[in-house]
């Protein structure tokens, strides 16, 4: 009953008009679809790579220019098996237009768009002609549209002096404190012509329950009013209903007996079932297919808690906030997403929060999350600003929400819809109300429109109005004792030890900055020499006073950097320590606290930021620290040590995020820095499955007369925790001495390091020698006599240089 022809070939792009400056002549330039103006100009060599140096600053004219995309395609109506097969109707289907566009087919305007976050469909059968047809899409300047809406509706406060809240486009296009200002335009998702007759499947919305029930809600569009047959099949079970003549909606319900349940990563397997839906009217059938998983999900709010419950089991959410992985989303492939997801899972995460300043992600994103068991918290795309509810916006928001909620209902990985990022907090705490003077700010979306749409289309999945949020509009939104919390005091004003003052229910966002890997920074910045304050390095730091905060954040934790190499190592190490400190604190509070979501997993370009994986796709030292902090079984020293008492007043927390009890002999030793045992205690402990426990430190090991010269070591099975009672500059570390052996292996190089003294936070940075080289571990502390083995893969780094400064680093190194 239908056929689809993509229209991705033969496009050109032309700059029509501009209010910007520095515009090169662009006329009839070959264009890639899907794509955007920036990538087309880059491919043609008309602009420099915006990710390099400060090239971004010379490209603001692109967002102030009108662009015309045009293609010519042939059409043969009525050709059997060709374009016109079953062509009673023909629709131009636009999966994504960015953003304000006028579409013209053969000289006739067929429609206008103003929303990047939704698709559009235009009937065009009456305009198609045999032979050549010309399709032209004119994109208005995003800045012009947004500024016109701002002038018409009145200004609204936001975190940045950009008009991103006045256009339904991903907000971070306009720059963020980790991203460049690259305001795009173009056909960013597939476009094509669908022909059909009698009827087509307009929407398929499966509602899947953990008991095996699948309610398939179907909407059909009709060209004829005769009865239709609708069949749904999953798990070997099929059910058929008749769609009466003229009816446009139907529900097919089927039950798969004893289905295998879908579980989050770390809680079980992720079985998926193929669901097919067929629509027939006596001629060729039309089919929709997708994969589903059987599970239940609830949000437990008992006693102001915030706990995601899957299949009746509370889940401690360990994960990352997710931003668009590229400023130009058409470049984000399934393979690239799979690499990022593997990096998230490899760090021990079980969830990703799709942040509200980005977009509804691609089908590949949610399919991968289903396959890998990564829970998805999905923000609606509103972030850090007051949004207008009047003008064209309410209708656009409703359209995009309805489409995307319906699109994503089938995915078992999606466990929460969230109305916005930080807008409720902004309205309550950022002095927005006096600036608004009674104008709308988005509250009608978060408290009314969006929850109504979720309740109607996806009733079994929880909705939360925003984050941070305490559960009621009348409560302070960022109250640690209720709902979700964002912690930015640490990065902005406080030392990272301040995390210990929080006792939260769920931390949905917190982070600490560090620079990208050397190879990523060096590839993006041509400064010679490369220094912390050289122009390119400074340009790739978007946070206000970011470099000052990096240095201030070192506090008394680490020595003052002497040159670029020290700055790079110490600030990366400090980022890793800060986040590990916070995560261990919050995990030790379980089940009172049931989530810790780090800001952020990824970057969209090379930049100094909060990410664990940088803009080149490389893992920063932070990633390795998170892998330990997110470990299924964690030992961590918690509490404040008195100045003269080493570990007095501290406890040893044991976190068991597995389905088996964690039992064994807990060993706690007080050692001199030379490795001499000064005191030790051993006792049997048992931590319940998915539980936490704590042990007070015995006085014999906790009390010390020489805090600067001793270390506490706790072990339980394979888990180990270290506690140094003074910050590194105040410790009496010996100069590091170690023996190193580098050997070739089938997969690269094996580096064996044996410590002759204590070696603090040992790291190898092979990308300094070859940008293709990676290492499997970082920031390892060795006690005297201990050995660590590192595996270096990729590229051809010099084996000898791997074990020399500045590639091999530790805090107490001697040079």
- Give average pLDDT by consecutive 10-residue segment, the chain, 815 residues: 90 89 84 98 97 96 97 81 62 98 98 98 97 98 97 96 98 98 98 94 97 97 92 97 95 98 98 97 85 98 97 98 98 98 98 98 98 98 98 96 98 98 97 93 98 98 98 97 98 97 98 98 97 97 96 96 97 98 98 98 98 98 98 92 48 97 97 96 96 92 90 97 96 97 96 98 98 98 98 97 97 87
pLDDT recorded at residue 86: 56
Do 231 and 100 lie in one domain? The reply is no
Do 103 and 224 lie in one domain? The reply is no
Burial 49-76 (b: 16+ CB within 10 A, else e): ebbbbeebeebbbbbbbbbbbbbebebe
CA dist 676 and 573 (Å) reads 27
pLDDT recorded at residue 703: 85
Residue 704 lies in a domain: yes
**List of E strands, 529-675:** 595-598, 633-638, 651-656, 662-672
Give the domain extent around 691. 633-730
Q: List beta partners, residue 352.
A: 320, 376
Task: Among 144, 159, 194, identify where a domain stops.
Answer: 194
Residue 37 near residue 330 (C-beta atoms within 8 A): no
pLDDT recorded at residue 336: 98
Do 12 and 143 lie in one domain? The reply is yes
pLDDT recorded at residue 645: 41
Residue 746 lies in a domain: yes
CATH classification at residue 161 = 2.60.120.260
Do 765 and 657 lie in one domain? The reply is no
Residue 108 lies in a domain: yes
Token pair listed for 164: 């991103």
Task: Please state the domain count of the chain.
Answer: 4
Do 103 and 252 lie in one domain? The reply is no
Residue 62 lies in a domain: yes
Do 170 and 260 lie in one domain? The reply is no
Do 124 and 271 lie in one domain? The reply is no
DSSP secondary structure code for residue 600 in this structure: -
> What is the Cα 198 distance to its own chain's centre?
42
Task: Among 151, 168, 194, identify where a domain stops.
Answer: 194
Do 45 and 168 lie in one domain? The reply is yes
Token pair listed for 469: 């949020």
Say how many CA atoms lie within 13 Å of 473 toward its Cβ.
9
Do 89 and 64 lie in one domain? The reply is yes
Residue 406 lies in a domain: no
CATH classification at residue 236 = 2.60.40.10
Residue 256 lies in a domain: yes
Residue 242 near residue 229 (C-beta atoms within 8 A): yes
Do 723 and 664 lie in one domain? The reply is yes
The set of residues, in sequence order, having a beta carbon less than 8 Å from that of 87 and lying 6+ positions away, is: 77, 78, 125, 195, 196, 197
Rounded to a whole number of angstroms, the distance between the first and last alpha carbons of the chain is 75
The count of other CB atoms within 10 Å of the CB of residue 542 is: 17
Crossing angle of helices 393-408 and 450-457, in 10° steps, is 30
Beta-strand pair 191-196/2-6: antiparallel
Residue 264 lies in a domain: yes
Q: What DSSP string describes 656-698?
A: E-SSS-EEEEEEEEEEETTS-EEEEEEEEEEE-TTEEEEEEPP
Q: What DSSP string describes 364-412?
A: HHHHHHHHHT-EEEEE-S-BSB----TTTHHHHHHHHHHHHHHHHTT-T
The count of other CB atoms within 10 Å of the CB of residue 659 is: 12
Token pair listed for 69: 């995309």
Nearest alpha carbon to residue 523 among 430, 390, 396, 616:
616
Do 190 and 206 lie in one domain? The reply is no
- 275: exposed, middle or buried (Cβ count in 10 Å: 0-12, 13-18, 19+): buried
CATH classification at residue 752 = 2.60.40
Do 231 and 210 lie in one domain? The reply is yes
Residue 603 lies in a domain: no
pLDDT recorded at residue 411: 98
Task: Among 707, 730, 753, identify where a domain stops.
Answer: 730
Flag whether the pTM goes above 0.75.
yes
**List of E strands, 756-801:** 759-764, 774-775, 780-782, 787-793
CA dist 812 and 735 (Å) reads 6
């Amino acid at each position: 009953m239908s056929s689809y022809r993509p229209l991705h070939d033969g496009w050109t792009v032309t700059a029509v008009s501009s209010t910007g400056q520095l515009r090169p002549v662009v006329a009839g330039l070959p264009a890639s679809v899907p794509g955007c103006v920036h990538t087309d100009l880059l491919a043609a060599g008309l602009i420099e790579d915006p990710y390099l140096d400060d090239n971004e600053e010379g490209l603001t004219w692109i967002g102030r220019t009108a662009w015309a995309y045009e293609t010519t395609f042939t059409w043969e109506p009525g050709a059997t098996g060709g374009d016109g097969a079953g062509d009673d109707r023909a629709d131009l289907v636009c999966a994504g237009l960015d953003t304000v566009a006028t579409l013209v087919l053969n000289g006739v305007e067929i429609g206008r768009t103003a929303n990047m976050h939704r698709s559009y469909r235009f009937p065009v059968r009456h305009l198609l002609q045999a032979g050549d047809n010309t399709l032209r899409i004119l994109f208005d300047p995003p800045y012009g549209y947004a500024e016109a809406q701002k002038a018409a509706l009145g200004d609204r406060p936001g975190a940045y002096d950009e008009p991103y809240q006045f256009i339904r486009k991903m907000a971070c296009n306009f720059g963020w404190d980790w991203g460049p200002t690259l305001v795009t335009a173009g056909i960013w998702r597939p476009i094509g012509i669908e022909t059909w007759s009698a009827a087509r499947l307009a929407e398929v919305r499966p509602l899947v329950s953990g008991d095996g029930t699948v309610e398939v809600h179907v909407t059909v569009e009709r060209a004829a009013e005769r009865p239709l047959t609708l069949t749904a099949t999953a798990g070997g079970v099929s059910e058929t209903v008749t769609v009466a003549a003229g009816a446009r909606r139907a529900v097919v319900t089927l039950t798969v007996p004893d289905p295998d349940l879908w579980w989050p990563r770390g809680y079980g397997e992720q079985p998926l079932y193929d669901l097919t839906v067929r629509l027939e009217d006596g001629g060729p059938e039309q089919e929709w297919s997708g994969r589903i998983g059987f599970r239940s999900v609830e949000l437990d709010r008992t006693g102001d808690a915030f706990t995601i419950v899957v299949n009746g089991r509370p889940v401690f959410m360990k994960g990352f906030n997710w931003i668009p992985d590229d400023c130009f989303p058409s470049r984000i492939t399934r393979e690239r997403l799979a690499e990022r997801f593997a990096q998230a899972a490899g760090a021990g995460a079980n969830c990703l929060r799709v942040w509200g300043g980005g977009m509804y992600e691609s089908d590949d994103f949610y399919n991968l999350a289903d396959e890998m068991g990564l829970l998805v918290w999905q923000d609606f795309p509103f972030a850090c600003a007051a949004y207008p509810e009047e003008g064209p916006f309410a209708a656009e928001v409703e359209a995009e929400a309805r489409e995307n909620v319906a699109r994503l209902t089938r995915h078992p990985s999606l466990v929460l819809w969230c109305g916005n990022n930080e807008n409720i907090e902004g309205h309550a705490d950022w002095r927005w109300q006096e600036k608004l003077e009674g104008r709308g700010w988005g509250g009608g979306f978060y408290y009314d429109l969006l929850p109504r749409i979720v309740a109607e289309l996806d009733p079994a999945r929880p909705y939360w109005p925003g984050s941070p949020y305490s559960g009621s509009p009348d409560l302070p939104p960022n109250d640690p004792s209720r709902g979700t919390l964002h912690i930015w005091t640490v990065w902005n004003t406080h030392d990272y030890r301040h995390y210990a003052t929080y006792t939260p229910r769920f931390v949905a966002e917190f982070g600490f900055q560090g620079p990208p890997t050397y190879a990523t920074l060096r590839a993006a910045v041509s400064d010679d020499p490369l220094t912390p304050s050289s122009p390119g390095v400074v340009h790739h730091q978007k946070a206000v006073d970011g470099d000052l905060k990096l240095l201030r954040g070192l506090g008394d934790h680490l020595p003052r950097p002497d040159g670029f190499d020290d700055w790079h190592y110490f600030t990366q190490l400090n980022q890793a320590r800060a986040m590990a400190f916070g995560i261990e604190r919050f995990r030790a509070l379980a089940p009172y606290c049931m989530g810790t979501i780090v800001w952020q997993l990824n970057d969209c370009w090379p930049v100094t930021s909060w990410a664990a994986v940088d803009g080149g796709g490389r893992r920063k030292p932070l990633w390795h620290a998170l892998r330990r902090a997110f470990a299924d079984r964690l030992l961590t020293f918690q509490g404040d040590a008195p100045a003269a008492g080493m570990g007095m007043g501290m406890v040893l927390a044991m976190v068991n995020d597995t389905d088996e009890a964690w039992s064994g002999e807990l060993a706690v030793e007080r050692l001199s820095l030379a490795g001499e045992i000064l005191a030790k205690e051993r006792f049997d402990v048992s931590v319940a499955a998915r539980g936490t426990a704590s042990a007070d430190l015995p006085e014999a090991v906790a009390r010390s007369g020489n805090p600067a010269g001793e270390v506490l070591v706790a072990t339980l099975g394979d888990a180990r925790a270290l506690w140094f009672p003074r910050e590194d500059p105040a410790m009496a570390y010996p100069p590091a001495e170690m023996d190193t052996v580098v050997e070739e292996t089938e997969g690269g190089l094996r580096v064996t390091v044996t410590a002759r003294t204590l070696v603090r936070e040992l790291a190898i940075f092979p990308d300094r020698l070859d940008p293709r080289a990676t290492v499997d571990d970082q920031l390892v502390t060795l006690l005297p006599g201990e050995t660590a083995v590192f595996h270096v893969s990729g590229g051809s780094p010099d084996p000898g240089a791997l074990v020399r400064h500045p590639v091999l680093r530790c805090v107490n190194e001697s040079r």
